[in-house]
A and B are shown apart, each in its own frame.
Chain A
Amino acid sequence: MSDPIVDANSIIETLTLQGGFNTNAVILGTSLLGVAAGVIGAFALLRKRSLTADALSHATLPGIAAAFLISSALGFSGRSMPVLMLGAAISGILGVACIHLILQHTRLKEDAAIGIVLSVFFGVGIVLLSVVQSSTSGSAAGLNHYIYGQTAAMIRSDAYLMGGIGIIASLIALIMLKEFMVVCFNESFARSMGMPVWLIDSIMLALVVLITVAGLQAVGLILIVAMLIIPPAAARFWTDRLWKLVLFSALIGGLSGYSGATISALFPRKPAGSVIVLVAGSIFILSMLFAPTRGVLADTIRRIRLRVRIARDHVLESLYEIEIGHVGIEHPKAASWLIQLLCFKGWIERNNGKLNLTETGRTQGQRIHRNHLLWEQYLVSYADIAPTHVDWSVDQVEHVLSDELIHALVLALKKRGLTIPPLDGGTS
């Protein structure tokens, strides 16, 4: 079955919030939920509680089914959203409590405890769902939507509730930014100041619960955790400041929520939850690859540049050592691009097929040679390493020594009364 053909007009209408009042409310609500999930997820990530949030969201399922059964038995409509959300919250919190109980009373580690609680609660939920479906009539079928999410089934009041919870949860997190920050960074210090860490943790958990139950309808309980984890993880690549992390994470979450709900409105068969996760996931992959300094690409470039520098230094060093008459130094056999690079920089020149250092190249070569000698002497005299064993580490270190370190090295060697190779003069 394929989705109905969508013309460009209706795409633009939906994207610009002209697709009807109900659709707009759902898009707005999902965006706000995305913003809130981004904000609160940032703290869950920093507190290393992302997986706990996953267990929590899976553990909501038995609560949803139980809430439906109980309210139906009492003669209310089983599909009242607030009632289902309350049930979900209670069983989610029970799940987290079970994790803590297992950790306190057994020697199991957190990953095992989370895995156990997540699967057992979810299993119980599935069983209860089958009870619901076999015992009641068609009105129960909708409960399935809470697993994968379905924005198409949402009505305006659901969307308002979702957006409202998102706004409130974000505001609480922003007000408590300072408290969350110190507990996430340095719990023992926070406790030494008398901060009630358990209370702050509980508030953080309560916010995660709020996001989870608010997102049940739109995103579903399996994928809601992605809205808590992926936006802050993506945002972390772009910044080293907490407030920016929270801001970027909120933006990425909001954008994911907006596009997920919009696409789901255009193609009603596409579940909003998975579209939201796909958008967030794409942003994450782009961030991971292309973010400056922390991204994979930037990191690779940095590493390549360091290797080029080391290769370059080796050529200069060997040429310098040949010049000052060291025996046993082979004429460097470097790749032609490297030679060309060095010629281009004006550090070496070709002369009858042989390579010669220029004036600037000689200064460079001398500096590297000196670093090598300094570090070698230091290792031999301070670290008691046999002179024959130091070559490898020296070759690694001599290229990365900062002026500050070299100065310290000279001082340390002088203290021992060792001769310091001069920087000028060139003969040793």
Chain B
Amino acid sequence: MTHTENSQVQSPRSILDARPEHSADSPVSVHAMTVAYNRKPVLWDVDYDAPSNALVAIVGPNGAGKSTLIKACLGLIPRASGTVEFWGKPYKQSRSLIGYVPQRESVDWDFPVSALDVVCMGRYRKIGWCRPVTKSHKRAALEALARVGMEDFATRQISQLSGGQQQRVFLARALTQEADLYFMDEPFAGVDASTERAIIEVLRELRANGKTVIVVHHDLQSVPEYFDHVLLLNMRVVAAGPVSEVFTAENLQKTYGGRLTLLAEAAEAVARAAKGT
């Protein structure tokens, strides 16, 4: 773990040392987190306090560690160093308040279950060990399917759904978790236009109900339109804050290392959004 020690020596800590390590009202507060795969760090010294009641995009190039950040927060992969707190408490005590949408490609969609079965999985914590899924839980799952416009597909086997429909099933499953904070890993990846609209509608609904949603996002153009806050990531936090302040050409240049052809276009989108609002 020599990498970690080095990085802690090198990074300027004076500002951070002056304040408490974790903010108790932040839905998720990451402090000095380093994550390594096979001892090779993929995320260095992440410090981040997510705002309450906001839609947050995590943006960065391939291999920037966007998914890794989410998974490390949820304890799905081990952290080499650092801590994560949710509303000032460790993950184990706040689990019931957190929902998760994994990457669609991470599962085998030929699995012999229906859309409704998958959505019901979001209720398993509430149902408890070795108990069957009752009617009331099924009703909650059907309601969640209706919220993403998928009520007619409840009994479909999941391999018969299109990519966008599969993504909506995953979203519905997270909705049944009735969480206050959601992590979503690339929910907009490879979906059709109507699914994208359905998802963003659900995200706005969640925000209107006081929830926080942290989304790994790959489409720079839509960041200003969809999100309030942005976290620019490239193995380290390049910048984080409100989209209007942070989502600048300069910061994107820093994040993507200048090899980005969409940069100019995205910067224009920011300018347009700033004028519009």
Contact = CB atoms under 8 A, between A and B. Distances in A.
A310 interface: no
B81 to A, nearest CB: 21
A185 B107 contact: yes
Contacts of A242: 112-113, 117
A239 interface: yes
Interface residues of B, number: 31
Contacts of A182: 121, 124
B112 A178 contact: no
Interface stretch (B1-9, B70-78, B138-146): B70-78
A231 B113 CA distance: 18
Given A186-B106, A193-B95, A240-B157, A46 B124 contact: no
B107 A186 contact: yes
A176 B131 CA distance: 8
B111 A175 contact: no
A281 B98 CA distance: 46
Given A181-B113, A242-B113, A192 B132 contact: no
B125 interface: yes
Nearest to B118: A185
A195 interface: yes
A51 interface: no
Interface in A187-238: 188-195, 236
B102 interface: yes
B112 A188 contact: no
A10 to B, nearest CB: 41
Contacts of A245: 112
Nearest to B75: A191
B76 A192 contact: yes
A189 B98 CA distance: 11
Contacts of A186: 102, 106-107, 121
B21 to A, nearest CB: 24
Contacts of B124: 178-179, 182, 190, 193, 195
Given A185-B111, A242-B112, A178 B133 contact: yes
Interface of B: 71, 74-76, 92, 95, 98, 100, 102, 106-108, 111-114, 117-118, 121, 124-125, 127, 129-133, 157, 159, 173, 177
Interface of A: 46, 175-176, 178-179, 181-182, 184-186, 188-195, 236, 239-242, 244-245
Going nearest first, the 8 A-B pairs with the smallest beta carbon separation are A240-B157, A192-B100, A194-B95, A193-B125, A192-B74, A186-B107, A175-B130, A182-B121
Given A46-B112, A193-B177, 13 more contacts: A176-B130, A178-B124, A178-B132, A179-B129, A181-B113, A185-B108, A185-B111, A188-B100, A188-B102, A189-B102, A193-B95, A195-B124, A244-B112
